[in-house]
Amino acid sequence: MGELWSNAYVKIGLTAVLLILLKVAADAIQERQVYRVHKGPRRARHSPLESETTLVPRYRLRDDLFSPAEASFYHVLLQTCAGWAVVLGKVNLGDLLYAPREAGEAQWAMWNRINRKHLDYVLCDRQTLRPLVAVELDDASHRLARRAERDAFVDQAMAQAGLGLVRVPVQQAYATAELGQRLRQAVLQPQAAVAAVAPALNETTVGAPVEAEPCAATVDTLAPEAPQCPRCGGQMVLRTAQRGVRAGQPFWGCENYPRCRGVREVEG
């Protein structure tokens, strides 16, 4: 009889110990879950075989390519220029202008000053898409000192390049007839159009050209009697037509090609 009671006590003791161990394990699991909630979810481990695209953040499309005022004025320009020009928006100044080779060491400095700037609109010929005139829509921010300095530089750069620039203040409504007259006048007299809004042209502000270093010619040939480019004023190089009806014939081409496509015939 005593042995039976002894076995019963042993079983009860083992059961109690087991219950205690289960309670300790449950408490530990609960504490770990609370810790994870405060710390955040564990980062997933990616296999080296997974596509890299899953690890790289994706680009997002902006909703503010044009402000409401810019979008409204864009439609005004479309109506004003219908029949004689197409309207391009947000044109990088570095895609419109370039620093010529004869600028020498100043070339890269000139390029850096235009590369990260853009024009609100550029009107181009309907057939050739050659730029005719640029348009800037000026809101209240253009009266700030920093923005005014930027605008003065753009005005001067455009004047040097010989492309008209028309500045239009933001308004509730626009007189399309008057605007069209200003734009056409700027196409015919680009320097006068820029002078109407820009200070006196200062060559050193944009970067005065310096003597270009001699460069090795490959297909092209530099000659002492090389004429100046009739379009940009740069030096011309002697080239040979590779195809077409004039294949094999020499001609003078601008060294800034393809940014400048000025050509001259070889005399004699």
CATH label of the domain that carries residue 117: 3.40.1350
Examine the domain organization and report whether 111 and 189 are in the same domain: yes
**Residue 194 above 70 pLDDT?**
no
Domain final residue, candidates 206, 236, 257: 206
Q: What does the pLDDT look like over 25-34, one tens digit per residue?
A: 777 776 666 5
pLDDT tens-digit readout, 147-191: 899 999 999 999 999 999 999 999 999 999 999 999 999 999 876
Task: Summarize pLDDT for 60-83 with one digit per residue, the tens.
Answer: 888 889 999 999 999 999 999 999
Instruction: Provide the domain count of the chain.
Output: 3
- The pLDDT-based confidence of 201 (bands split at 50, 70, 90) is very low
Q: Say yes or no: 121 and 172 in one domain.
A: yes
* Nearest alpha-carbon partner for 77 in 87, 92, 89, 65: 87
Residue 224 pLDDT > 80, yes or no?
no
- Final residue of a domain: which of 174, 206, 238? 206
Let me know how long the chain is. 268
18 pLDDT exceeds 90? no
54 in any annotated domain: no
Report the mean per-residue pLDDT for the chain.
Answer: 78
Of the candidates 120, 117, 125, which has an alpha carbon nearest to the alpha carbon of residue 137? 120
Asked if 170 and 202 count as a contact pair (C-beta separation under 8 A), the reply is no
Q: Please give the residue range of the domain that contains residue 24.
A: 1-44
Backbone angles phi, psi at 120, to 5 degrees: -60, -45
Let me know: does 136 contact 120? Beta carbons within 8 Å. yes
Percent of the chain past pLDDT 70, that is, above it, reads: 72
Of 163, 176, 164, nearest to 83 by C-alpha is: 176
Higher pLDDT, residue 245 or 107? 107
